[in-house]
Amino acid sequence: MTVPRAPGALLAMLVLCAAGCASGCASEDADALVVVGLTTDMAVGFELDRVESTTKVDGVIARVESRSYGGGELSLPAELAVGPAHDGAEIALTVAAFRGREASPVVTRRAATRAVGGRTLLLPVSLDEACSAASCAASATCAEGACVDPFIAPSALADHDPAWLASARDACKTPSAGLPAIVVGQGERAFAPLEDGEVVPIEAGPQGGHHVWLALRVEGLRQMGSRLTVGGRFPELAFELLPFTSQITLRKAGDAGCEIYGIRFQVDRGLPVESVRGRALDVEIALEDPDGDVATAAQRVVISP
């Protein structure tokens, strides 16, 4: 199977530690934490490929990080943990998102707050497509297409709860997406519709075997980290093809939601290729995202004689 490269490991946490006494903290009162909830409505791996972040505590650079999708390090939404810091410490964050090898960021976002002793604050930071063409004054930052003050008072922030990730903004799992659903199509380099019972060609793979190219249109599931399972059955032969699983990354497809193409499904695993030519094949597909939401679909195709 060939699919757009998925991250080698999900980015559950980027640990950005404050710079100890250089930031003015004292060990006896360094009990304040801030967790940055980083989200985007852009497709990671397609519209942005790299995120660079700089964190300051009381004006002192505490950590500089660079995470790339190509390196298997970047998955969004993600958490950036800052601390421990002393009560009242100013936490300031700058995040820049880059596409491909472009030198200029697609979006730059700044955010700031103050740490509060005894609390772990959740500071939401979004990288918004609507901000890609925005220009704000030096004292402002862009959020959801508008120029706003980067500072958010700690009294306006909720305490951190990891459950926020399940409802975080996403390039594919949007509020308007509705229930999880997938439509089975075909195509190696683009999505093309596939009618039930349609005759599909097969081709020889580079490592032996013969395969069809499948594609999916997807709604209501996360853009990154969903687990794809593809199986099939030849009813006339009473033969089940062993399913395979893969972690995938979806791309946005405009008003059509999100999609993936180039799914290579071998149709002669355990069978002579001549025995499957002209036969009906019932393809079964399941897609489960990191939140546990699942969509399934079945499609009958006929292998080209």
Q: What is the pLDDT of residues 47-82, one digit of tens each?
A: 999 999 999 999 999 999 999 999 999 999 999 888
What confidence score (pLDDT) does residue 9 get?
32
pLDDT at 82: 87
Q: Residue 302 is encoded by which pair of tokens?
A: 């006929």
* pLDDT of 20 higher than 50: no
Alpha carbons 49 and 39: distance in angstroms, whole number: 14
Give the per-residue pLDDT at 177: 75
pLDDT for 167 equals: 87
Query: What confidence score (pLDDT) does residue 171 get?
Result: 93
Contact status, residue 185 vs residue 192, Cβ threshold 8 Å: yes
Residues 140-158: what's their mean pLDDT?
Answer: 97
Q: Residue 30 — very low, low, confident or very high, per pLDDT cuts 50/70/90?
A: low
pLDDT value at position 126? 97
**Alpha carbon distance 38, 132 (integer Å):** 16
Question: How does 270-304 read in b/e, with b if 16+ C-beta sit within 10 Å?
Answer: ebeeeebeebebebbbbbbbbbebebebebbbebe
pLDDT at 12: 33
C-alpha–C-alpha distance, residues 76 and 283, integer Å: 31
Which of the pair, 12 or 265, is modelled with greater confidence? 265
> Would you say residue 115 has pLDDT above 50?
yes
Mean per-residue pLDDT, 205-227: 94
Distance between CA 141 and CA 130 in Å, rounded? 12
What is the pLDDT at residue 255? 78
pTM, to two decimals: 0.81
Q: How many helices (H) and strands (E) does the chain have?
A: 1, 21
Mean pLDDT, the chain, whole residue set = 89
d(CA 166, CA 170): 10
If you compute the radius of gyration of the chain from its CA atoms, what whole number of angstroms results? 23
Distance, in Å, from the CA atom of 126 to the CA atom of 24, rounded to the nearest integer, reads: 28
| 203 pLDDT higher than 60 | yes
pLDDT tens-digit map of 234-282? 999 999 999 999 999 999 998 778 999 999 999 999 999 999 999 999 9
